[in-house]
Amino acid sequence: MDFAYTPRCKDYLARVSAFMDKYVYEGDEIYERQHAEFGPGEGRWKVPPIIEELKEKAKAEGLWNMFLPDKKWGPGLSNADYAPVAELTGRCHIAPEVFNCAAPDTGNMEVLARYGTPEQQEQWLKPLLDGKIRSAFLMTEPAVASSDATNIETEITRDGDHYVINGRKWWSSGAGDPRCKIFIVMGKTDKSAERHVQQSMILVPADAKGVKILRHLPVFGYDDAPHGHMEVELDNVRVPKENILLGEGRGFEIAQGRLGPGRIHHCMRTIGAAEVALEKMVKRLLTREAFGKPIYKHSIWEQRVAEARIDIEMARLLTLKAAWMMDTVGNKAAQGEIAMIKVAAPRVALRVIDDAIQAHGGAGVTSDFGLAKVYSGIRTLRLADGPDEVHCRAISRLEFKKHSNETR
């Protein structure tokens, strides 16, 4: 068993690391300063110009769309090769967008690359790949428990050469960005069909008549502007029949294809954030004294630092195993591992960040060290792309299935 990164992975890691050292960490500070200068209210939803400048630099250096394994659309990195790069970008919140590797665009680009028609790819995929527009994925609904996607109530009704869409979505991440031009919407085209073929996905331009942004949804008080998480009303929204993805009743199929790689990306970025939190914790403990000795010499902190390192290493190895399995035996065979990492990585990161906050004392919950904001975002990951309970249910079912014949 070889745990070494491939030469190609090492090459991209070195180049991305050098680029981040040269541009991105400083760019993050500039981004925050420019965003603050826009002021409150509507100014929060303006995009700091530094981000587009950095995107052009990254594109020029070939550090672009690295998440796409299809060589037709990207550099063709495998999931296992891209995973360590994703971890590196998790160290800085603007980094994924700088390299055009930010959610939800990554998942939406994968959908269009894998399932889109040539016309859909020309109209929407190419501008997304070029970083000229952004997108949102509309699935979760306020009226039902959307962790069970068969519950969704948004209607997609065929009317001649068009589909008419009615429903209300929320946690539509990215819909607040002024560059967001296209939504992928999940709804039901046939409520009488078998449970998992009732759903379809359809492309809806963000400026289509009948699309209304009702409000933005803060996360623990953070607005996450200009990206934002929105509640969106779809009121008799009419789009051409050609906007359907893959065909009626294929929504679940698309969702499963979309979520596998995205979970690798999220989990590795989360591990990157955990590494940063551990670094901050250790530096803080080394430089503060309490009760007559450096804080790091108090045994409770030795225990916490050790457990943080153990947990991070375990989470990373499990995520890399899932990525390797996706590359070698496919998403279906790796479904257990994909579910496991989605539970494990955010839990690990939250424990590490929480301990880092504790090590910083009152400073940990301010904006001075960035820990509180990172905690809020990763806590949301225990809900996004399915809550922990759904993934644990899937894992347990696989375990029961292994032994079901033995008990009969």
Clarify whether residues 193 and 263 are in a common domain: no
Clarify whether residues 328 and 359 are in a common domain: yes
Give yes or no for a contact between 160 and 135, defined as CB atoms under 8 angstroms apart. Answer: no
**pLDDT of the residue at 61:** 98
Polymer length in residues for the chain:
408
Clarify whether residues 306 and 240 are in a common domain: no
**CA–CA dist 93, 276 (Å, integer):** 12
Longest dimension (CA), the chain: 79
Clarify whether residues 240 and 259 are in a common domain: no
pTM of the model: 0.95
**CA–CA dist 270, 260 (Å, integer):** 16
Among 72, 98, 129, the domain-final residue is 129
Tell me the CA distances in angstroms from 164 to 83, 144, 167, 241, one per residue in order: 39, 21, 10, 9
Among 228, 245, 262, the domain-final residue is 245
Helix (H, G, I), strand (E, B) or coil at 134: strand
Closest C-alpha to 379, from 221, 262, 231, 264: 221
**pLDDT of the residue at 145:** 95
Clarify whether residues 277 and 393 are in a common domain: yes
**CA–CA dist 231, 213 (Å, integer):** 6
Clarify whether residues 118 and 156 are in a common domain: no
For residue 23, the cross-strand partners are none
For residue 158, what is the domain's CATH number? 2.40.110.10
Asked if residue 31 belongs to a domain, the reply is yes
Tell me the CA distances in angstroms from 93 to 66, 166, 197, 294, one per residue in order: 17, 34, 37, 31
| Through-space distance between the first and last CA atoms of the chain, rounded to whole angstroms | 37
- DSSP states of 201-213: EEEEETT-TTEEE
Clarify whether residues 141 and 220 are in a common domain: yes
For residue 42, what is the domain's CATH number? 1.10.540.10
**CA–CA dist 131, 61 (Å, integer):** 15
**pLDDT of the residue at 407:** 59
203 phi/psi in degrees, rounded to 5 = -85, 125
Clarify whether residues 141 and 114 are in a common domain: no
Helix (H, G, I), strand (E, B) or coil at 160: coil
Asked if residue 2 belongs to a domain, the reply is no
| Dihedral, CA of residue 286, residue 289, residue 291 and residue 293, to nearest 10 | 50
Domain count, the chain: 3
Asked if residue 267 belongs to a domain, the reply is yes
162: enclosing H helix or E strand: strand 162-173
State how far Cα 88 lies from the chain centre: 14
Token couple for 255: 């969702």
40 phi/psi in degrees, rounded to 5 = -80, -175
Helix (H, G, I), strand (E, B) or coil at 195: helix
Q: Which domain holds residue 114?
A: 7-129
Clarify whether residues 39 and 141 are in a common domain: no
**pLDDT of the residue at 260:** 78
- DSSP states of 266-314: HHHHHHHHHHHHHHHHHHHHHH-EETTEEGGGSHHHHHHHHHHHHHHHH
Closest C-alpha to 221, from 372, 120, 28, 405: 372
Among 193, 212, 245, the domain-final residue is 245
**pLDDT of the residue at 340:** 97
Clarify whether residues 312 and 231 are in a common domain: no
| Dihedral, CA of residue 268, residue 269, residue 274 and residue 277, to nearest 10 | 160
Clarify whether residues 399 and 273 are in a common domain: yes
For residue 289, what is the domain's CATH number? 1.20.140.10
| Dihedral, CA of residue 99, residue 105, residue 111 and residue 117, to nearest 10 | -90
**Each residue's pLDDT expressed in tens, for the chain with a length of 408 residues:** 688 999 999 999 999 999 999 999 999 999 999 999 999 999 999 999 999 999 999 999 999 999 999 899 999 999 999 999 999 999 999 999 999 999 999 999 999 999 999 999 999 999 999 999 999 999 999 999 998 889 999 999 999 999 999 999 999 999 999 999 999 999 999 999 999 999 999 999 999 999 999 999 999 999 999 999 999 999 999 999 999 999 999 999 998 877 778 889 999 999 999 999 999 999 999 999 999 999 999 999 999 999 999 999 999 999 999 999 999 999 889 999 999 999 999 999 999 999 999 999 999 999 999 999 999 999 999 999 889 999 999 999 999 999 887 655
- DSSP states of 307-373: HHHHHHHHHHHHHHHHHHHHHHT-TTTTHHHHHHHHHHHHHHHHHHHHHHHHHHGGGGGSSSSSHHH
- DSSP states of 33-68: HHHHHT-SGGGGGSPPTHHHHHHHHHHHTT--STT-
Helix (H, G, I), strand (E, B) or coil at 2: coil
Clarify whether residues 395 and 258 are in a common domain: yes
**pLDDT of the residue at 266:** 94
Tell me the CA distances in angstroms from 294 to 97, 127, 290, 358, 362, one per residue in order: 39, 54, 6, 15, 18
Asked if residue 1 belongs to a domain, the reply is no
Asked if residue 258 belongs to a domain, the reply is yes
For residue 165, the cross-strand partners are 156, 237
